[in-house]
Structure 1
Amino acid sequence: MNRLQGKVSIITGAGSGIGRGIAEKFAEEGSIVVVADASPAGGEETVELIRAAGGTANFQQVDVTKAEDVERLAQDTIERYGEISVLVNNAGISSGDTLRIHEVTEEAWDRIMNVNLKGVFFCCKYVLPAMLERGGGSIVNIASAAAMGMGPRAAYAASKGGVASLTRSIAFQYGEYNIRANAICPGPVDTPMSRAARANGTYKQAPIVDLCVDRRGEPEDIAYAALYLASDESKYVTSDMMLVDGGAMRLRAEQFRNN
């Protein structure tokens, strides 16, 4: 069953980790995938993996903090494939955000906001006109369990909370045009970015004991959630914040109530 057959999907940050997992899953389910990433090496590798598995993909180098890059991404996709059916805003950063609020520099704050929130705004801004012309589409934003109050990373949590609020606004503004917008809020997921952050001490990932399941998440776990939200199976789902965290948020809430 090809759940995305004939759909054209742009996935940002698809050069590794969660983004690559989503790109591979979407291609497996029949979507034409535009792999958008700042890294040519990572992006091209994702494309090669998809093509080797029999899928269709191309790479577009994009810095999501630059409006001209994102506008070009949308235009090139329309010129090549004629439409944009699905947008997955996955590109994001988290490292260097472990300080208390009074210790966070303006530069660090701006960098996280520019990538995690303004980048999502730019992508939606330039893709939505194509979805309006098409008569519908699905936007899937990758937020975080941190947007729901999980964890101490202030700037990161604020940026992802902004993504959640922006998602709801898009769902409200564009629902009448058959455009849906939802967000996925991952908990601990094993990715190259999270491994690097743990190694350099900028991120202490939740121990397994803090999860309801006996493992951390894998990119494929988030990819399946994105697949559902991108497909017509979720045509009555919009403005949703889908928590995919191995039960971490629920377990923490129970522990808080019991203390």
Structure 2
Amino acid sequence: MKDDSLSYWTGKSVVVTGGARGQGAAEVVALTAAGAHVHAVDVHPEDSHWWVDLIEQVGDGRRLLNTIVADVATESGWETVADAVRDCGVPLAGLVNNAGITLRKTLSETTLPEWDRVMGINLTGAYLGIRTLAPLLEDGGAIVNISSTAGLTGYFSAAYTASKWGLRGLTKASALELAPRNIRVNCICPGLVETPMMNSANAVHDLDTARLLHDGNRDATLLDRGAHPAELAAAALFLLGPDSSFVNAADLPVDGGMIGGGIYWRIGKATGNLGARP
């Protein structure tokens, strides 16, 4: 019989990138609540309100939280993380490559610096994280990469889509290499998640466009809603922990049925064969 999550995570540490807000913060909160020591990594300055909010969310688990300001797109940033893990002295059992940015532009609209920035954070950051921390991971540990439904199908946002498809490939290549140490590497593909990034206008032309994108994602989801970040955190905790001990090199859509419903979901609604919600 497997240990419960609290006893399993006691005396183990996990690194979570993009950990100061949104989905990453939810993962940090879930892991500290389970008893893990968590290294939350983000680029936001130490005095940012995002860190303050995270500490408040963690509450009594504050003693298990170590916040690290670092840029995951750089080797020096990951050296800072590795040093913190070594200095902590708590065995490293997991890595969540959650940090990511979006850019809602087509291929022809995207400049090379924009392309490089998205790739640097979303894909190169995960590569650097695995390369840097895999030697520190205890045998039997786990890595979770956060991709997207945009990494499972076509999407107009060229750089974002390419980075998320690439992250799935990186997941499988890493799983092959790390399997002899019984380190599993899996990928979560979220759909619409109600986070600040999804609801912001910083990657689109205006707030109206952001709302249209949000509502379009919701309408394409069988469950007719976005996920709460805690629902994604639960999936990450599952893939990091002992209950998924035989799950490896897998893509797990956590998308309310967005990908599974496919084009026929919308066709069925349009033709009236699938009834409207009450």
Q: Does 1:32 align with 2:43?
A: no
Q: State the match for 1:127 in structure 2.
A: 133
2: CA distance, partners of 1:109 / 1:29: 37
Aligned residues of 2:192 and 2:217 also touching (Cα < 8 A):
no
Which deviates more from structure 2 when the two are superposed, residues 22-31 or residues 70-79?
Answer: 70-79
Per-residue deviation at 1:253? 3.5
Give the TM-score normalised by structure 1: 0.91
Aligned residues of 2:101 and 2:118 also touching (Cα < 8 A):
yes
1: CA distance, partners of 2:116 / 2:217: 29
Q: State the match for 1:204 in structure 2.
A: 213
2: CA distance, partners of 1:163 / 1:27: 26
2: CA distance, partners of 1:37 / 1:129: 22
RMSD over aligned Cα atoms: 2.0
Q: Does 1:103 align with 2:109?
A: yes
Q: Which amino acid aligns with 1:10?
A: V
State the secondary structure of the residue aligned to 2:225. Answer: coil
Determine which of 10, 18, 28 is the counterpart of 2:23. Answer: 18
Give runs of ≥4 in structure 1 deviating > 6 Å.
256-259
Runs of at least 5 residues in structure 1 that lack an aligned partner in the other structure: none
Per-residue deviation at 1:55? 5.6
User: Sequence identity, in percent?
Assistant: 30
1: CA distance, partners of 2:246 / 2:217: 36
Per-residue deviation at 1:46? 1.5
Q: Does 1:224 align with 2:234?
A: yes
Per-residue deviation at 1:5? 2.7
Q: Compared with structure 1, are the counterparts of its residues 201 and 214 closer, same or farther at alpha carbon in structure 2 (3 Å cutoff)?
A: closer
Give the TM-score normalised by structure 2: 0.85
Q: Compared with structure 1, are the counterparts of its residues 200 and 14 closer, same or farther at alpha carbon in structure 2 (3 Å cutoff)?
A: farther
1: CA distance, partners of 2:56 / 2:42: 14
2: CA distance, partners of 1:167 / 1:117: 10
Runs of at least 5 residues in structure 2 that lack an aligned partner in the other structure: 271-278
Matches for 1:113-192 after TM superposition, within 5 Å: 113-131=119-137, 134-192=138-196
Residue-by-residue CA offset, 1:58-84 (whole Å, 9 max, x unaligned): 101010011011112112112212421
1: CA distance, partners of 2:102 / 2:167: 14
Per-residue deviation at 1:214? 3.3
Q: Which amino acid aligns with 1:68?
A: S
1: CA distance, partners of 2:33 / 2:183: 23
2: CA distance, partners of 1:74 / 1:67: 10
Aligned pairs, number:
255
Per-residue deviation at 1:139? 0.3
